[in-house]
Amino acid sequence: MSTSVVEMRHITKKFGNFKANDDISLTLHKGEILALLGENGAGKSTLMGMLSGLLKPTEGQILVEGKEVEMESPRDAKKLGIGMVHQHFMLIPAFTVLENIILGEEPLKGGRIDYKKASQEIERLAEKYQLDIDLKAKVADITVGMQQRVEIMKALYRKANIFIFDEPTAALTPQEIDQLMKIFRALADEGKSIIFITHKLKEIKEAADRCIVIRAGRVIDDVMVADVAEEKMAEMMVGRKIRTTVDKAEVDQSKAVLEVKGLNVEKHGLQAVKNLDLTVHTGEIVGVAGVDGNGQSELIDALTGMRKIKSGSVKINGKEYANHPVREITEAGVGYIPEDRQVVGLVLPMTISENLALKNYYRKPFNNHGILEYADINQNGKDLIEKFDIRSQSEKEAVGSLSGGNQQKVIVAREIASKPDLLIAANPTRGVDVGAIEYIHEKINDERNDGRAVLLVSFELDEILKLSDRVVVMHAGEIVGEIDPKNTSAEELGLMMAGKKIADAE
Amino acid sequence: MSLETILMTVFSSTLIYAAPLIFTALGGTFSERSGIVNVGLEGMMIVGAFSSTVFTLSFSNALGTATPWLSILVGGFFGFLFSILHAVATVNFRADHIISGTVLNLLAPGLCVFLTRIIYNGKGQTPIIEQGLGTYTFPGLSKIPVLGKILFTRTSLVAYFAILIAIVSWYFLYRTNVGLRLRSVGENPVAADTLGINVYKYRYLGVLISGFLGGMGGAVMAQSITMNFSSNTISGQGFMALAAMIFGKWHPIGAMGAALFFGLAQSLPITGAYIPLLSHVNSVWFQVAPYVITIIVLVIFLGKAVAPAADGTNYIKNK
């Protein structure tokens, strides 16, 4: 454990006048798993960008295997045995797994690629590190978990000794996360060193030997994971105490707001939602858990009027709204926090105020006989920015220039400010940091406590278990079970999401 | 006329008209596989047609029967030079690919007709080439009963050469490491860059090969069909080649097959009169057929065909 493979000394990185990294020092030992913990924007990715050759430090030195190095490009980092596994995989969906792995380092035989030799080499590595991959499959057709193993194999194939993982578990199911943690161990046991960036404390506890906490570009602490409690690490990361529960008030849950019966939705001619029944009452948060791609998106699209319903009934406050126009559904009292804020939720080049008025721009007071009343629109923007703690320079700033967490707050503000009877939230905290997650969770819970109905779809099990009054599990377009979040662990839920019925899970 | 003769006529004129399209459609495939949309194929063909015609007219006395063949390489070379404009604009200056391609299409006829007037005493078109590519009868193969007459007698040698180039292109793109890399920058340049692949270099390669093949296509058009150069030597063939590339799903063999189909459509005005069922149809319909078929094919297949994922996008390297 004592030999250091990477040493970063007094690294400072400036973008203009902004210090993304301020005098950071870090050491990585051989065979060690090091976690880099910090909120979004804390400077973790910048630091790793410098270690992987994407960025150049403004000040400071980087030593690899004891020698000072200067890296001009990722290629230089690769030569030094540094392999980066990006959060958004750097794969080519149209190519096979094998082609993706060898791209750029193809073995040749008489001018053509020697696929046979490459396969043998990769299969040998796969066996050694227990990486289950299908070389002949197209990347477009394999699971996210396997895509990640392909990324790991890409680095192994290039003889990497140092692995950097940027938020490796963001898109994985709990089972895939377990598998990844095993792979981490196998790599470390073979003498490889690993740095992984995360803001999830559980994984650090499970996998890492040591943890470096970064906040606002500085190293806050460097701790051995075994010695520190999760709560303590969360506090170091955010700089204050974090609440892991929400207060649920006693509310009347007798009246049904959303009633879905026998819903069938198709996507590309395939049945995406099958005969689905679902009811959400006043003062209730119903969580829909499930692995991505099991019909959740189609369900939400159908409920919000974005996708045609093939058959079935959708009642809101007792009135039928299946296949009604989006505006009628909105006016019936439905608020919607969409999954992809940048594509569906916001118009990025428009100002915060304009985005906040997107749902009401055609009505008084924002609209006076076809003329927009900017005074009212901007005043509304100012009010909501203050009320929802949206960190921005002014209400006239373009939404696209805000951080992800603040963009999400803009949507939450718009949808909650309209006081909907039913709030549909799809992955409301995806890619948002811990502070903003806490805030958004509280806002959603406030809606419930005010007696509104909330339908929450999320891939984050902790989020589902923390917020929901009831949880239904979706698999292959069907609801395969309902559980009580108080008596269910994330592991049990994970098994159900993989398609096991409740009886099997127990 | 016997059925054999009719088939021979239809087949050989299909090949004659398909040859320029095959070269050009292959050119488009290379460019778009590397991620650069190439609507400038028409312009590249014009440059190829013009330069090859000037070459043939100037050197046929000295070089004899080899002249038209050499002129195809000359056309390719000037098409290659012309395509540098497109590469610089789209790769280095990140221009919109469609606009850059359109510029080539507007520039090429103006430039070439202007040069024609300068070279040939103010005339808007060049004199007629005395010796074109002509037809070719394969020794040996033409003796095969039935098929020998249909496929290998009085046919277009350059079309067979084009088919060979299509097979070579497939091998290059799908079996060599350079081909794999060229396709990778057309699918996901960011990923390719992280693997140390020089995105700009491979995109240049795609566009320049496209210029060379497009120029060859134009040259073949001038040397075997129009036999001179004027402002309407190339009249939409570049766009037909583009349609053939899409119809052929951006695949060299597919593009070749589609180009043969378009070749058949283009040869109809000539062969239609000999085909018993079609001989009563007004020839105007045959004249418009290639263009109508192009539009129909594009409408039907453009939405469904899967282009390289990063086709038409510019790549900006992070610093």
Output the pLDDT for position A309.
94
**B304 at the A interface (CB within 8 A)?**
no
Output the pLDDT for position A202.
80
Output the pLDDT for position A32.
94
Determine, for residues A92 and B176 on separate chains, whether the beta-carbon distance falls below 8 Å.
Answer: no
Helix, strand or coil for residue B303?
A: coil
Distance CA B238, CA B23 (A): 10
Q: Quick one: B176 exposed, middle or buried, by C-beta within 10 A (0-12, 13-18, 19+)? A: middle
Residues of B in contact with A77 (CB under 8 A): none
Segment (H or E) for A275? strand A270-281
For the domain A4-238, what is the CATH superfamily, name and number?
P-loop containing nucleotide triphosphate hydrolases (3.40.50.300)
Output the pLDDT for position A500.
61
**A16 at the B interface (CB within 8 A)?**
no
**A31 at the B interface (CB within 8 A)?**
no
Q: What is the CATH number of the domain that holds B49?
A: 1.10.3470
Q: How far apart are the first and last CA of chain B?
A: 70
Our measurement of the distance from residue A50's CA atom to the centroid of its chain's CA atoms, rounded to an integer in Å, reads: 23
Residue B59 phi, psi (nearest 5): -115, 0
Determine, for residues B177 and A73 on separate chains, whether the beta-carbon distance falls below 8 Å.
Answer: no
Distance CA A330, CA A320 (A): 13
Residues of B in contact with A104 (CB under 8 A): 181, 192, 195-197
The answer to whether residue B249 sits within a structural domain is: yes
Residue A421 phi, psi (nearest 5): -75, -35
Helix, strand or coil for residue B40?
A: coil
- The nearest CA of chain B is from the CA of A382 a distance in Å of 35
- Closest among B198, B279, B258, B183 to B24, alpha carbons compared: B258
Distance CA B94, CA B92 (A): 6
Cα torsion through B229, B232, B234, B238, rounded to 10: 150
Buried b / exposed e along A217-245 (16+ C-beta atoms within 10 A)? bebbeebebeebeeeebbebbbeeebeee
Q: Count the domains in chain B.
A: 1
Is the separation of the CB atoms in A153 and A102 below 8 Å?
A: no
Distance CA A140, CA A391 (A): 38
DSSP summary character for residue B128: P
Is the separation of the CB atoms in B222 and B51 below 8 Å?
A: no
What lies within 8 Å, CB to CB, of B227 at 6+ separation is B128, B129, B132
Q: Which residues, listed in sequence order, are joined to residue A144 by a DSSP beta bridge?
A: none
Kindly give the interhelix angle for B283-302 and B252-271, rounded to the nearest 10 degrees.
160
**A114 at the B interface (CB within 8 A)?**
no
Length, in residues, of chain A: 506
Residue A3 phi, psi (nearest 5): -70, 130
Tell the residue number behind the tokens 């990140």, with chain if given.
Answer: B94
Output the pLDDT for position B318.
58
- Run means of pLDDT, 10 residues per run, chain B, 319 residues: 83 94 97 96 97 94 90 97 97 95 96 95 90 86 85 90 97 96 95 90 97 97 94 93 93 95 87 77 82 84 79 77
Q: Which amino acid is at B317?
A: K
The answer to whether residue B161 sits within a structural domain is: yes
Output the pLDDT for position B268.
83
Give me the domain span that covers residue B151. 3-302
Output the pLDDT for position A312.
94
Mutate to test the interface with A, among B177, B199, B313 (most CBs of A within 10 A): B177
Residues of B in contact with A268 (CB under 8 A): none
The answer to whether residue B315 sits within a structural domain is: no
Q: Across the interface, which of B176, B184, B191 has its CB nearest the CB of A112?
A: B176
Ranges of beta strands (E only) in A30-121 are 33-37, 59-64, 67-69, 82-85, 108-109, 112-113
Q: Which amino acid is at A379?
A: Q
Helix, strand or coil for residue A192?
A: coil
Distance CA B300, CA B247 (A): 9
Residues of B in contact with A84 (CB under 8 A): 194
Instruction: State which residue of chain A sits closest to B176, comparing Cα positions.
Output: A112
Helix, strand or coil for residue B191?
A: helix
CB contacts < 8 Å between A and B, how many? 58
Ranges of residues in chain A whose predicted pLDDT is under 70: 1-2, 499-506
Q: Across the interface, which of A75, A78, A99 has its CB nearest the CB of B180?
A: A99
Q: How many helices, marked H, and strands, marked E, lie in chain B?
A: 12, 0
Sign of the CA dihedral running B228, B230, B233, B238: positive
The answer to whether residue B152 sits within a structural domain is: yes
Q: In what order do the strands lie in the sheet with A478-483?
A: A334-337, A422-426, A453-458, A284-289, A470-475, A478-483
Distance CA B186, CA B30 (A): 10
Is the separation of the CB atoms in B105 and B238 below 8 Å?
A: yes
Tell the residue number behind the tokens 């103010």, with chain if given.
Answer: B122
Output the pLDDT for position A401.
81
Segment (H or E) for A438? helix A434-449
Dihedral-angle region of residue B155 (phi above 0 means left; psi in -120 to 50 means alpha; beta otherwise) = beta
Distance CA A258, CA A429 (A): 23
Per-domain residue ranges of chain A: 4-238, 256-344+423-505
Output the pLDDT for position B1.
66
> The complex's ipTM?
0.87
> Does residue A349 have a cis peptide bond before it, meaning omega lies within 30 degrees of 0?
no
Length, in residues, of chain B: 319
**A129 at the B interface (CB within 8 A)?**
no
- The nearest CA of chain A is from the CA of B178 a distance in Å of 9
Determine, for residues A94 and B180 on separate chains, whether the beta-carbon distance falls below 8 Å.
Answer: no
Segment (H or E) for A352? helix A352-356
Output the pLDDT for position B306.
80
Residues of A in contact with B181 (CB under 8 A): 103-104
Domains A4-238 and A256-344+423-505 share a fold: yes
Residue B133 phi, psi (nearest 5): -75, -30
Helix, strand or coil for residue A9?
A: strand
Tell the residue number behind the tokens 């039935």, with chain if given.
Answer: B146
Output the pLDDT for position B48.
97
Is the separation of the CB atoms in B298 and B239 below 8 Å?
A: no
Mutate to test the interface with B, among A54, A92, A166 (most CBs of B within 10 A): A92
Residues of A in contact with B193 (CB under 8 A): 74
The answer to whether residue B151 sits within a structural domain is: yes
DSSP summary character for residue A344: I
Tokens of B215: 């120029």
Q: Across the interface, which of B181, B190, B308 has its CB nearest the CB of A103?
A: B181
Q: Which CATH code for domain A256-344+423-505?
A: 3.40.50.300
Is the separation of the CB atoms in B241 and B26 below 8 Å?
A: no
What lies within 8 Å, CB to CB, of B188 at 6+ separation is A90, A91, A92, A93, B309, B310
Tokens of A503: 């009886």
Q: How far apart are the first and last CA of chain A?
A: 41
Mutate to test the interface with A, among B170, B180, B194 (most CBs of A within 10 A): B194
Q: Across the interface, which of A78, A111, A112 has its CB nearest the CB of B196?
A: A78
**A76 at the B interface (CB within 8 A)?**
no
Output the pLDDT for position B239.
94
Instruction: State which residue of chain B sits closest to A74, comparing Cα positions.
Output: B194
**B308 at the A interface (CB within 8 A)?**
yes
Distance CA A38, CA A48 (A): 13
Determine, for residues A73 and B196 on separate chains, whether the beta-carbon distance falls below 8 Å.
Answer: yes
Instruction: State which residue of chain A sits closest to B308, comparing Cα positions.
Output: A94
Distance CA B134, CA B169 (A): 25
pTM of the model: 0.77
